[in-house]
């Protein structure tokens, strides 16, 4: 189903003041990008070299299983 969310993804919410959001949208428009794509690019860049321990990966897998069975 094309409109179904990827079960591995989680929603991230932040609060930002109106002026900063307006400015950020302006930057995104100038770059021909969405606010989401800029934020995801930043997140991926900052975390690409972060290694997870076996325990951390196990925790993620456990949470994922719990979410999908509820």
For 69, phi and psi rounded to 5 degrees?
-100, 5
Residue 64: CB partners within 8 Å, gap ≥ 6? 7, 8
The helix/strand/coil state of 28 is helix
Residue 38 burial (C-beta neighbours within 10 Å; 0-12, 13-18, 19+):
middle
The confidence score (pLDDT) of residue 2 equals 66
What is the percentage of the chain residues whose pLDDT exceeds 90? Answer: 73
Average pLDDT of every residue of the chain: 91
Q: What is the mean pLDDT of residues 23-29?
A: 98
Q: Is residue 57 part of a domain?
A: yes
What is the percentage of the chain residues whose pLDDT exceeds 70? Answer: 93
What is the number of domains present in the chain? Answer: 1
Q: Where are the alpha helices (DSSP H) in 1-70?
A: 18-31, 35-47, 54-68
Show the tokens assigned to 58.
Answer: 């196990």
- pLDDT confidence tier of residue 7, bands split at 50, 70 and 90: confident
- Can you give the pTM of this predicted structure? 0.74
Full domain range(s) for residue 30: 18-68
Is pLDDT above 80 for 59? yes
Q: Is residue 42 part of a domain?
A: yes
């Amino acid at each position: 189903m094309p409109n179904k969310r990827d079960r591995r993804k989680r929603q991230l919410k932040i609060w930002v003041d109106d002026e900063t959001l307006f400015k950020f949208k302006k930057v995104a428009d100038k770059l021909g990008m969405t606010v989401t794509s800029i934020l995801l690019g930043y997140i991926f860049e900052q975390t690409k070299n972060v290694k997870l321990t076996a325990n951390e990966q196990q925790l993620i897998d456990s949470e994922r299983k719990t979410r999908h069975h509820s």
